Amino acid sequence: MTNNRAFAELMAFQRQTEALAGVAGRLGWDQETMMPPGAAEQRGEEMAAMEGVMHARRTDPRIADWLAAADPADAAGQRAVALIARSYARTTKVPSDLAQELARVTSTAQGIWARARAEEKVADFLPTLGQVIALRRQEAECLAQGGDLYDALMDDYEPGATAEVMGAMFDRMRPRLVALRGAVLEKAPPAAIQGHFAKEAQLALSREVAGVYGYDFSRGRIDLAVHPFSSGGGNDSRITTRVVESDPFNCIYSTIHEVGHSSYELNIDQAYLMTPLGSGVSMGVHESQSRIYENQIGRGPGFTAHLYGLMAARFGDMGVGSADGFYRAINRVQPGFIRTEADEVHYNLHIMMRFDLERALVRGDLAVGDLEAAWNDRFAADFGVQVDRPAHGMLQDVHWSVGLFGYFPTYTLGNVYAGCLFQALNAAVPGVEAQLAAGDCSGAVGWLRENVQRHGGLRTPEATIAHACGFAPSEGPLLDYLEAKFGALYGL
């Protein structure tokens, strides 16, 4: 067998694995959008069966032989081989029966969490959460092989990241964030928008806004879900949003956030389709796209001026009087319970809290039965507000029900990356705010497409951001951006 033949056979095998992963992803999308609730147990068995097939493929002994013999001719091929080797090394450490049980339990756990959240019953969710944590700990023990369990789980979402490095970054960020929050909250808040915003009008507006950002509806769609998410890749990447009729920003900015995720997938070079390079390189880089779409672009003075016109045409007077008042209302800083609705000043403090809690859960330092009290105590300490009900507390996020331990820190890492990208974007695209005010996102999203999105998994996460920005990423640009923006808004 020649080296080229080994590489060709490896990539052909991987293509089928990627196709099956897409099918499994579609099952997950259906579960959270269309599936009747009575099908939950059956869907759990279906997901377990799919995981069994996927695990068998990812641990096929032929992969080791192909990897040893493959000699790709270019950087893309070399990177593909490296990613397959990484997946093979990790997957072979986890027994198939454990992988299948994780798939089954986390599939059914999502529905149990959703019901507990709707009924405000933490006790109904805790046994299942304990089961999920126990299984993820078993998986982490297989992967870590004596190392840190939380690091082993985080590596699924941000390869190479460690709790020590992330914790040190959070420690550097916290003082400036807390100081900024304190200074802002001493000032009188701007007026909030007022009115009733009908569901169908919000959904129509969300589709229009997605179109302004260039979302490709021929390869995507928008549906409703309890917790907004993006699903899929290649030429089929779908998003969901949610509607609160008293708060249209919930729907609009959930949509924009998920459009950022989905656009990353849809804009990857078609040459990488159904290869290891054909999806986002990490969740931190993924979140950089959703967060820069949502915040630096979507909450900036340019785009909010355009959005004000769209909303005034649909909903009439909103009690803010002008585009400037609307911009201030969108960027209103106030302590709130819900992470996904948090302003830019508070958002990363939500993540830091979850990082500490879930690391304690994984390491066995916090019992599942003590989680609600620990959450409520920490929230009161960090935000100065007492949690009023479980849906505003530990039941608000879907992540733990589906086993995504180690995922939360990638949100702040994504914000850090977004701060770097926005600095580079402004240097590369003069007058971008004026373009956005005219409803033209092509300069901003085009720069992101060319410099980040189209490259998919070609480079490591940090190298992806450094290549786009021309400098190594750090938290400095994000903190400088936040202080400048909110300093101007609040006259600090």
Catalytic positions are 258
Angle separating helix axes 409-428 and 344-363, nearest 10 degrees:
150
Could you tell me which residues come within 8 angstroms of residue 155 by beta carbon, excluding any fewer than 6 positions away? Answer: 90, 143, 161, 406
What are the beta bridge partners of residue 241? 224
What are the beta bridge partners of residue 224? 241
Q: Is residue 189 helix, strand or coil? A: coil
**Contact of 62 with 35, CB cutoff 8 Å:** no
**Contact of 424 with 292, CB cutoff 8 Å:** no
CA distance 154 to 99: 17
Residue 35: both structure tokens together: 């599936």
Chain mean position to CA 243: 19
Residue 239 Ramachandran class (φ > 0 left, ψ -120 to 50 alpha, else beta): beta
- Euclidean distance between the first and the last CA atom of the chain, given in angstroms as a whole number: 69
**Contact of 469 with 420, CB cutoff 8 Å:** yes
Q: Which of 8, 5, 47, 58 is nearest to 24 (CA)?
A: 47
Reading across the β-sheet that carries 222-224, which strands appear in turn? 222-224, 236-241, 230-233
C-alpha torsion sign, points 153, 158, 160, 162: negative
H/E segment holding residue 231: strand 230-233
Residue 274: both structure tokens together: 């159904």
For residue 455, what are the CA distances in angstroms to 143, 266, 278, 290, 293? 28, 11, 9, 16, 18
Q: Which of 492, 460, 483, 475 is nearest to 78 (CA)?
A: 460
Q: Is residue 10 helix, strand or coil? A: helix
**Contact of 290 with 261, CB cutoff 8 Å:** yes
Angle at 37 between CA 32 and CA 43, to 5 degrees: 70
Q: Is residue 222 helix, strand or coil? A: strand
CA distance 104 to 44: 4
CA distance 14 to 238: 23
Radius of gyration of the chain, Cα coordinates, nearest whole angstrom:
22
β-pairing, 236-241 with 222-224?
Answer: parallel
